[in-house]
Amino acid sequence: MTDFTRTRSLFHMPDGVFYLDGNSLGPLPKSATQRVQEMMTAQWGEQLIRGWNASGWMMQPRRLGDRIGKLIGAPEGTVVVGDTLSIKVYQALASALELNPSRRVVLSDNGNFPSDLYMAQGLLRSLDKGYELKVVDPEEVEAAIDESVAVLMITEVDYRTGRLHDMKKLTAKAHAAGVLTVWDLAHSAGALAVDLEGARADFAVGCTYKYLNGGTGAPAFIYVAPKHAGKVRPALSGWLGHESPFAFDLDYRSGAGIDRMRVGTPAVIAMAALDAAMDAWEGVSMADVRKQSIALADLFIREVETRCPELTLASPRNGAERGSQVSFRHPEGYAIMQALIARGVIGDFRAPDAVRFGFTPLYIGEQEVLGAVGVLEDVMNNKRWDEPQYRKKALVT
């Protein structure tokens, strides 16, 4: 059994806060402060450029990739960390398209995170080969998989509603039609049990600042199935993905396997924080996390529906069809969330009308969930959101 009392003690939580937004930015792992400081002083400060070898900075993207791999059903040597998720989406899609050269359709859904769609649009435009990005309703993805499709590019958990796609089933259907898959695990890694190898996913990408608690702007990760990793030709062919970066050849030759998905110099300071964050997952069973996150979200839904009847559930009611977050709709959602945040209940708002709450058993329990519902009840039933200062839109919602 996972000891959630232990994991909770590993994170810093400000006083007076019920934090239900770990799906957007995980909290600070206490050990990260010291780990980063050590990197800055003992490594950067004292070792200077010698740190690349002496402290293993160069292999850090692979080491961290293996640590993340354990949480997403990826064997050692199939995941590498670097860049941002948007960049990794571009890389994965470009490689998948090249592996399926006779087809011209990229299939996605309108529940996908816009950046994934934007990156696809930019890539397809620069390829200039008549590609089409086909975007359907999430419920229609399965039926839209056919032999015209080159790549199915899908985010497993809908960022707005938490609706969960069936990775295994959609991947099997895709393969039967000769379609390759790119799975975005932004709201899956660290939130639920993912089995990339078991689902036979071709490519997967994700970020590390949400459920993995790597810190804001922490680097992303990419997985390439072993059967493809030796074949793909990186579109972003940077020197650290080269077979021999320090040979300084004038022509690109891809590195072995997953190494070729590296691009440029790794963000070593950020990776120190991510490495500390990954320690929290030692001894944690994703099955326990999943079970507890469903229980907390079910409790939240039950209490909110009883006590705040003006809010309409926007997420699947059945925990098995949901990721680790719950959204409710209300026309004044933005003001409601601002009023909650002013009272220490931190979730977020997703246009046009969703208030969103994340459930993260590593550091959140029943007490926080019930505390948050109490504040929400007060905000709703006493219309505390109806104040001009709560309607002022900030840059980040």
Ligand X SMILES: *Cc1c(COP(=O)(O)O)cnc(C)c1O
Question: Residues in the site for ligand X, rule: CB under 6 A?
Answer: 84-86, 113, 115-116, 155, 159, 184, 186-187, 207, 220
Catalytic residue among 113, 159, 334, 349: 113
Q: Is the CB of 2 or the CB of 327 nearer to ligand X?
A: 327
DSSP 166-178: -HHHHHHHHHHTT
Nearest distance in Å: CB 200, ligand X: 21
Catalytic residue among 210, 262, 322, 384: 210
Q: Which residue in 219, 175, 238, 176 sits closest to 201, CA to CA?
A: 175
Nearest distance in Å: CB 219, ligand X: 9
Indicate the residue type of 129: K
Catalytic residue among 116, 184, 202, 275: 184
For 286, residues 6+ apart whose C-beta sits below 8 A from its C-beta are 71, 192, 193, 194
3-state secondary structure of 355: strand
Q: Is the CB of 141 or the CB of 376 nearer to ligand X?
A: 141
Q: Which residue in 267, 243, 237 sits closest to 257, CA to CA?
A: 243
Nearest distance in Å: CB 355, ligand X: 17
- Residue 211 falls in the annotated catalytic set: no
Task: Judge whether 196 and 183 are in contact, CB under 8 Å.
Answer: yes
Task: Judge whether 343 and 379 are in contact, CB under 8 Å.
Answer: yes
Nearest distance in Å: CB 210, ligand X: 6
Q: Is the CB of 250 or the CB of 394 nearer to ligand X?
A: 394
Nearest distance in Å: CB 158, ligand X: 9
Catalytic residue among 90, 203, 209, 221: 209
Q: Is the CB of 10 or the CB of 218 nearer to ligand X?
A: 218
Burial of 13 (0-12, 13-18, 19+ CB in 10 A): middle
Q: Is the CB of 163 or the CB of 187 nearer to ligand X?
A: 187
- Residue 209 falls in the annotated catalytic set: yes
Please compute, for residue 139, the number of CA atoms within 13 A of its CA located in the half-sphere on the CB side: 1
- Residue 356 falls in the annotated catalytic set: yes
Catalytic residue among 35, 260, 262, 356: 356
Per-residue b/e over 336-364, b at no fewer than 16 CB within 10 Å? bbbbbbebebbbbbbeebbbbbbbbbbbb
Residues marked as catalytic: 113, 184, 209-210, 356
